């Protein structure tokens, strides 16, 4: 398995980081997990545009994880892509498709077929990918209830498996509780190092993981702990670097 972090920045834009996007090459498939702003340009830079990508998985609908999808689809349309594209979305798939029409990006004009599915079902379409719902969006519950909104608070972490290799991409999350089973004994983890309490991240030390890649920013408490712990398994995410496992 090979993966490249195309965007490791936090939700607050910064000058030197792209927003969340991860490329995974496994079992001869080319997969994108999340599509933050700037993803189309990153695909061009790495030669992953036109007919390369097989599937795009969106973990949740925060703008730094989804906003780049519109320019990716426009680019693929203008490049006259012909290969079908599977798009896995966390919730309210038909409402997302309506936004494409709103932006005059009509799937009926694409030369490729855009197949849209719930990300919860990705495992039945692509072997070796396990989605697990996490607690990232649950804090919006009161607001959603108060204003009778339709938001379903669906946010996912993803585990990718190929042979003996396994990678977990936590995406954003509040705590580790909901995803502990998929993280245990995985080879590599790409974890949101900004939102969870630093104790939750430091606890990964005892979970038989070989590489813990910290993305989305690093909280001050975690930075202090890292300096003290001096454990080489923890490393800041490197954008555009090819990792292998």
Which residues in this chain contact Zn ion in the complex, by CB under 5 A?
Answer: 62, 172
CA atoms of 10 and 51, how far apart (whole Å): 29
Cα 29 to the center of its chain, rounded Å: 16
Nearest to Zn ion of 69, 126 (CB atom)? 69
CA atoms of 197 and 176, how far apart (whole Å): 9
Nearest to Zn ion of 103, 140 (CB atom)? 140
Q: Which two tokens stand for residue 3?
A: 């993966």
Nearest to Zn ion of 135, 172 (CB atom)? 172
Q: What minimum distance in Å lies between the beta carbon of 218 and Zn ion?
A: 16
User: Do residues 157 and 192 touch, judged by C-beta distance below 8 A?
Assistant: no
Q: What minimum distance in Å lies between the beta carbon of 108 and Zn ion?
A: 31
Nearest to Zn ion of 123, 139 (CB atom)? 139
| Residue 52 Ramachandran class (φ > 0 left, ψ -120 to 50 alpha, else beta) | alpha
Q: 23: closest CA among 1, 3, 49?
A: 3
Q: What minimum distance in Å lies between the beta carbon of 168 and Zn ion?
A: 17
Contacts of 156 (CB under 8 A, 6+ apart): 59, 60, 90, 119, 120, 131, 132, 133, 134, 171
Q: What minimum distance in Å lies between the beta carbon of 15 and Zn ion?
A: 20
Q: What minimum distance in Å lies between the beta carbon of 60 and Zn ion?
A: 6
Nearest to Zn ion of 37, 172 (CB atom)? 172
User: Do residues 24 and 161 touch, judged by C-beta distance below 8 A?
Assistant: no
């Amino acid at each position: 398995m090979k993966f490249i972090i195309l965007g490791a920045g936090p939700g607050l834009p910064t000058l030197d980081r792209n927003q969340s996007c991860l490329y995974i090459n496994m079992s001869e498939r080319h997969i994108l997990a999340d599509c933050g702003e700037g993803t189309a340009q990153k695909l061009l830079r790495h030669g992953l545009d036109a007919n390369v990508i097989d599937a795009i998985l969106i973990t949740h609908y925060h703008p730094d994880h989804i906003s780049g999808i519109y320019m990716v689809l426009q680019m693929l349309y203008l490049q006259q892509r012909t290969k079908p594209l599977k798009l896995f979305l966390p919730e309210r798939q038909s409402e997302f498709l309506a936004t494409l029409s709103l932006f005059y990006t009509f799937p009926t004009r694409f030369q490729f077929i855009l197949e849209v599915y719930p990300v919860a079902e990705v495992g039945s379409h692509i072997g070796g990918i396990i989605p697990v719902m996490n607690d990232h969006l649950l804090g919006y519950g009161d607001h959603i209830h108060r204003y009778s909104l339709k938001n379903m608070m669906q946010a996912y972490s993803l585990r990718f498996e190929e042979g003996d290799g396994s990678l977990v991409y936590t995406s954003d999350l509040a705590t580790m509780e909901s995803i502990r089973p998929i993280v245990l004994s995985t080879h590599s983890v790409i974890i949101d190092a900004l939102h969870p309490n630093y104790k939750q991240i430091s606890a990964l030390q005892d979970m038989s993981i070989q590489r813990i890649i910290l993305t989305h920013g690093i909280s001050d408490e975690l930075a202090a702990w890292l300096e003290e712990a001096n454990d080489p398994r923890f490393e800041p995410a490197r954008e555009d670097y090819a990792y292998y496992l």
